Amino acid sequence: MLNSTSSIAVATLGTPRIGPRRELKTALESYWSGRSDEKALMATAAELRAANWARQRVLGVTVIPSNDFSLYDQVLDTSVLVGAIPSIYGWDGGPVPLATYFAMARGAEAGVSDPACAHAHGHGNGVPAQEMTKWFDTNYHYMVPEFSQGQKFALSSSKPVDEYREALALGHRTRPVLLGPVTFLKLGKSKDASLDPLSLLSDLLPVYTELLGRLAAEGADWVQLDEPCLVLDLDEAALDALRVAYATFAKNVPQLKIMLTTYFGGLGDNLATALSLPVAGLHVDLLRAPDQLHDVLTTAPEGLVLSLGAIDGRNIWRANLPSVVSRLEAAVAARGAGNIQIAPSCSLLHVPIDLDRETALDPELRTWLAFSLQKMSELATLGKALSGDHASVKDALTASAAAAAARKASPKVHDAVVAKRVAALTTDMERREAAFGERAKVQRAGFNLPAFPTTTIGSFPQTPEVRKARASHAKGLLSDADYNAFLYEETARAVRWQEEIGLDVLVHGEFERNDMVQYFGEQLAGFAFTENGWVQSYGSRCVRPPILFGDVSRPKPMTVEWWKYAQSLTTKPMKGMLTGPVTILNWSFVRDDMPRSASCLQIALAIRDEVADLEKAGARMIQIDEAALREGLPLRRVEWKGYLDWAVASFRICSSGARSETQIHTHMCYSEFNDIIDAIGAMDADVISIETSRSKMELLDAFKTYKYPNEIGPGVYDIHSPRVPEVVEMTDLLQLARQRLADDQLWINPDCGLKTRKWEEVAPALVNMVAAARLIRAMPR
Q: Is 459 within 8 Å of 757 (Cβ atoms)?
A: no
Residue 388 φ then ψ, to 5°: 100, 0
Q: What span, in angstroms and rounded, lies between the C-alpha atoms of 159 and 319?
A: 35
Q: What span, in angstroms and rounded, lies between the C-alpha atoms of 740 and 677?
A: 15
Which residue blocks in 107-252 are alpha helix, DSSP H? 115-120, 159-169, 181-187, 201-217, 236-252
Closest C-alpha to 331, from 362, 379, 295: 295
Q: Name the pairing type of β-strands 535-538 and 541-543.
A: antiparallel
Q: What span, in angstroms and rounded, lies between the C-alpha atoms of 205 and 183?
A: 13
Q: What sign results for the dihedral spanned by CA atoms 269, 272, 275, 278?
A: negative
> Which one from 141, 508, 665, 720 is the annotated catalytic residue?
720
**What one-letter code names the amino acid at 649?**
A
**What one-letter code names the amino acid at 667?**
H
Instruction: Determine how many CB atoms are found less than 10 A away from the CB of residue 742.
Output: 10
Question: What are the CA-CA distances from residue 37 to residues 30, 95, 102, 464, 544 (Å)?
Answer: 8, 18, 14, 22, 28
**At 56, which helix (H) or strand (E)?**
helix 38-58
Q: What span, in angstroms and rounded, lies between the C-alpha atoms of 513 and 518?
A: 8
Residue 179 φ then ψ, to 5°: -75, 125
Question: What are the CA-CA distances from residue 4 to residues 215, 304, 339, 752, 755 (Å)?
Answer: 20, 15, 11, 52, 51
Beta-carbon contacts of 126 under 8 Å, excluding residues fewer than 6 positions away, are 107, 108, 109, 110, 112, 118, 723
DSSP label of 99: H
Q: What span, in angstroms and rounded, lies between the C-alpha atoms of 743 and 745?
A: 5
Q: Is 324 within 8 Å of 318 (Cβ atoms)?
A: no
Rounding to the nearest 10 degrees, give the CA dihedral for residues 482, 487, 488, 489: 90
Residue 282 φ then ψ, to 5°: -135, 125
Q: What span, in angstroms and rounded, lies between the C-alpha atoms of 183 and 181?
A: 6
Question: For residue 425, is it left (φ>0), alpha (ψ between -120 and 50) or beta?
Answer: beta
| Gyration radius of the chain over CA positions | 26
**508 catalytic, yes or no?**
no
What residues are paired with 766 via a beta bridge? none
**What one-letter code names the amino acid at 532?**
N
DSSP 704-761: HHHT--SEEEEB-S-TTS-----HHHHHHHHHHHHTTS-GGGB-BB-SS--TTS-HHH
Q: At what angle do helices 640-655 and 596-617 cross, to 10 degrees?
A: 20
Closest C-alpha to 746, from 764, 772, 720, 728: 772
Residue 576 φ then ψ, to 5°: -80, 135
What residues are paired with 623 via a beta bridge? 577, 665
DSSP 653-670: HHHTTS-TTSEEEEEE-S
Q: What span, in angstroms and rounded, lies between the C-alpha atoms of 381 and 400?
A: 11
What are the residue numbers of the active site?
720
